[in-house]
A and B are shown apart, each in its own frame.
Chain A
Amino acid sequence: MKRQFLTYILVVIFGMFSNFVQAERSDAHGHDEPAIVEEGHEVNEEIHEVEHDFDPGGTAMHHINDANVYSIGPVSIPLPCIVYVKGEGLKIFSSGKFEPGHHGNGHYAIDNFVLNGGALNRVSDASFPTGKIAVKKFGHKVIEIEKEAKDGSITTTEKDVSTVVLEDGSEFVLEAKSTLDGGLFGGGMTSWYDFSLTKNVVSMILVFIFLTWVFFTIKKAYKRNEGNAPSGIQSFVEPIFAFIQDEVSKPILGHKWEKYQPFLMSLFFFILGLNLFGQIPFFGNSNVTGHISVTIALALFTALVVNLSGNKHYWQHVFWMPGVPAFVKVILTPVEMLGVILKPLTLFIRLFGNIAAGHMVIVIFVALIFIFGNSGHSVPGSIAGVALSVPLTMFMMALELLVAFLQAFVFTILTAVYIGAAIEEHH
């Protein structure tokens, strides 16, 4: 029985990985295309020689990134895309139209949009044909961007960009969606915004529906069972409720704890639900709380609740700390004002870093099989890789389970601490 089960798991694992390998080989085909020179660009193009070896870092990135398709194993579930293109307005369509294959690469380009690695990309080049166009492959190349400074000197910077190659061999530079990092992390404003129900949004909606159902059931149980000892699912969550109530809210928030309890519990269970949802094996492994947009949004709620409930003493401590000499106040005030921003900043970076890193490490541990097995060319290497990868991945997943609870708890308790500092009565 046990042996059968083990065999089954091995078959599943190898089955999954054979998809990987096939995909790599098919991608490796036809990559000896001649250099295509694009005209009308201020850039100087040059085909970048792509390494054909397995790229664990890139794979890890691909797996933690958001996507416009929901992939469960080899199945890609299309998701609705809602995009806003500057000058063209709002467009709504399904990502199924691109007919995504392995790694979410769409086989067709539709009205300047393509599906590259699961993510929607746009070609802003005016010469790109509209309508449904067959895509040959996706690639990338290094372009040189010339920038003219104010004094007339020209500086050139090299940039690695994704491209799409059509059946006729023409290559176009892809534009990712607009991001608010100001180019700091390679993003920035582009010609379009993506408001799609992406994999992360869909995961959030699923978790939202599940949690709403669970907690409304529990609420009914509390109504039905009023004044009696908890039973059933109540007994499972009541220790968590009691823990947040007695160890977090009451000691930190004092007599006002009840006012903030729904917010703290919502935060805790929303983060915990998303953390755990991302860890269900073979279920998309969406990295929701490991995406900085999500954690920024959550930390924004914390910042709003903290600063909107801050009393006179809190603001006095921020702007003009009482009881210290004037010259110290001059130093303290900028520090305290910085602290108002830094508190939520640390919150979202901590949660994002922990969850994203956990997802990446798991992918990289699984990738050990391909590194050792030379992408399927060496079977003994693969076996060694499995022997190393399975225990490491299992350990990592157990650790991530702990981290899921820990980070949800840390986010909640720090939120409570910040609120507690903001509503503290004068002593």
Chain B
Amino acid sequence: MIILSTFDVLKPDPGLFFWTILIFLLFWILVGKFAFKPITGAIKKREEDIQSALDEARKAKTEMESLKSSNEALLQEAREERGKILREAKELKDSIVGEAQNQAKTEASKILADAKVEIESQKNAALAELKNEVGKISLEIAEKVLNRELDSGKNHEDYVASLVDQIKLN
């Protein structure tokens, strides 16, 4: 058997060198630019998406926590507000009621006073009238009596009138 193959792989061969340059350049341009670049971009984008999703979740969690605490504060505030409003309402009610009572009292006392005055005046008028009537009647009686018994004189009438005045009804 004759094999005189020398160590050809150690000899730089311009033909193979040329084809390697050409094929690798083509591979680099074609696959590197149109496949590896978009793939790298897609992986990077997905990584960023995952990272941003995680960040957002973390942010939402802290936000929720702060929201929860602020909710509680709000609730506390509302509770306080409610108490205050209730207290105020009570005070207002008390004051209104008190005022109304006072007003009613004064009104009542005024009405009472008015009534008393009216009554007094009516009574006085009635008494005066009564006195007049009584005088008249007495006069008539006396006239008649005197007419019948005595001659009527003026002294009598005056005397009767004085007598009538002396009558105190109360």
Contact = CB atoms under 8 A, between A and B. Distances in A.
The A interface is mostly helix, strand or loop, or mixed, namely helix
Contacts of B6: 61, 185-186
A212 B37 CA distance: 13
Interface string A116-140: 0101000000000000000001111
Contacts of B42: 222-223, 226
B3 A292 contact: no
A216 B27 contact: no
Contacts of B16: 66, 198, 200-201, 291, 293-294
B14 interface: yes
Contacts of A162: 4
Contact of B43 (A64, A238, A290, A356): A238
Chain A interface size, under 10 / 10 to 19 / 20 to 34 / 35 or more: 35 or more
B13 A177 contact: yes
Given A66-B13, A300-B21, A24 B40 contact: no
A197 B19 contact: yes
Interface string B1-43: 1111111111111111111110111111011111111111011
Interface string A166-208: 0000000000111111000111000001111110110011001
A218 B27 contact: no
A216 B35 CA distance: 6
B79 to A, nearest CB: 47
Interface in A1-58: 23-24, 27-28, 31, 50, 52-55, 58
B49 A227 contact: yes
Contacts of A287: 9
Contact of B32 (A58, A186, A266): A266
Nearest to A60: B5
Contact of B40 (A117, A211, A241, A293): A241
B61 interface: no
B26 A180 contact: no
Contacts of B8: 61, 65-66, 119, 176, 179, 187
A314 interface: no
A50 B39 CA distance: 57
B46 interface: yes
Contacts of B17: 180, 293-294, 296-297
B47 to A, nearest CB: 9
B58 interface: no
A201 B17 CA distance: 10
B44 interface: yes
Contact of A262 (B4, B9, B28): B28
A97 to B, nearest CB: 19
A188 to B, nearest CB: 8
A245 interface: yes
A50 B2 contact: yes
A386 to B, nearest CB: 20
18 contacts: A55-B3, A58-B3, A58-B5, A61-B6, A64-B9, A162-B4, A180-B12, A181-B10, A196-B15, A198-B16, A201-B19, A204-B20, A241-B39, A241-B40, A241-B43, A266-B27, A266-B36, A300-B21
